[in-house]
Chains A and B, each alone.
Chain A
Amino acid sequence: IAGITQAPTSQILAAGRRMTLRCTQDMRHNAMYWYRQDLGLGLRLIHYSNTAGTTGKGEVPDGYSVSRANTDDFPLTLASAVPSQTSVYFCASSEETSGGHEQFFGPGTRLTVL
């Protein structure tokens, strides 16, 4: 069982380019999340999905979009990357969105926007 996988592991991107970060989970969890992690800051929620077909905005959604066409996949798209989006991105999933359920994290994608 893989848990959560993310791709790519790392990427260097020119400003203005479009980029999609992929996330797949095999635990049949209803809820999925995208976070960014920056030095000195806690993980910040970008977007989330309570269940397939629904998405919601987190704390820092601007410049990012997501889709949830099925239970397993939750891609994150940067339509036109900017240097401030340089960060490490983590995808996570949980059985449900209530706080009592543990969130399981993927290995992360390190993105550098030049």
Chain B
Amino acid sequence: KNQVEQSPQSLIILEGKNCTLQCNYTVSPFSNLRWYKQDTGRGPVSLTIMTFSENTKSNGRYTATLDADTKQSSLHITASQLSDSASYICVVSPRGGNKLVFGAGTILRVKS
């Protein structure tokens, strides 16, 4: 069964610190992997997208990595800001399919 597991479930860090969120998936073969940011009370918004042949993608202070061999992805946030407080969702798209597989998300809280 296609699954996406994320860790940790939740995380609290101090403003200015870095953090890394993890995503393990069993979807195979897959077309691409996205990280979404979901602010409280809002819909998810795409941060990064990587195809199966890419292993890193940056968007400002957000850097996603992908290891297709181990079926793992990570999202690294540098110099965190209070506005980074949100849920971060890993989403995998199976190749040839139209139904995305969503992780449950990691809830990040950045404290001042």
Contact = CB atoms under 8 A, between A and B. Distances in A.
Interface residues of B, number: 24
Interface stretch (A64-72, A74-82, A105-113): A105-113
Contacts of A59: 99
Interface string A14-47: 0000000000000000010000000011111100
Interface stretch (B12-20, B44-52, B55-63, B75-83): B44-52
A42 B102 contact: yes
Contacts, number: 55
Which of A99, A103, A107 is packed against the most chain B CB atoms within 10 Å? A99
Given A43-B89, A102-B49, A108 B41 contact: yes
Contacts of B95: 99
A41 B46 contact: no
A106 B43 contact: yes
A89 B19 CA distance: 30
B66 interface: no
B100 A103 contact: yes
Interface of B: 4, 31-32, 34, 41-46, 49, 89, 93-95, 97-105
